[in-house]
């Protein structure tokens, strides 16, 4: 039977804490606000893995639906964006479309349902 030393057990606990507990769960409205801010940010990151990690994982299901619905609406309709964002509606639509593609790679059923039903 394997009996780890105290130092070995502490090392594994430290690794588990680093991997699991350093990321607090993101609340609904806060996650949505962070998504909107990111899309309007001049330093927008369109990497699919980054977008999924930041806005699809560890968010409440209601926030996830709101984010996907907003991405779909802006991507397809080129809705106006606040002037304070510093980007045009066309640029915002392109960014939301990139997000929507990344979200579809993560959860195709949720994106399909949102686009077909027009949920937000």
77-109, pLDDT tens digit by residue? 999 988 877 899 999 999 999 999 999 999 999
Residue (of 105, 54, 94, 41) closest to 71 by Cα position? 94
> Looking at the DSSP assignment, which residues form a beta bridge with residue 26?
59
Residue (of 90, 103, 115, 107) closest to 35 by Cα position? 103
pLDDT tens readout for residues 32-90: 999 999 999 988 999 999 999 989 987 888 899 999 999 999 999 999 988 877 899 99
Model pTM score: 0.75
Give the distance, in angstroms, between the CA of residue 103 and the centroid of all CA atoms in the same chain.
Answer: 8
């Amino acid at each position: 039977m394997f009996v780890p030393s105290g130092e070995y057990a502490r090392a594994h606990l430290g690794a588990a804490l680093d991997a699991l507990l350093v990321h607090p769960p993101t609340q609904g409205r806060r996650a949505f606000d962070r998504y909107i801010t990111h899309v309007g940010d001049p330093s927008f990151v369109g990497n699919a893995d980054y977008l999924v990690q930041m806005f699809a994982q560890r968010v409440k299901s209601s926030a996830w639906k709101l984010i996907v619905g907003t991405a779909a609406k802006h991507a397809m309709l080129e809705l106006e964006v606040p002037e304070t964002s510093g980007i045009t509606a066309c640029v915002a639509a392109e960014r939301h479309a990139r997000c929507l593609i990344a979200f579809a790679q993560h959860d195709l059923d949720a994106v399909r349902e949102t686009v077909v039903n027009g949920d937000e």
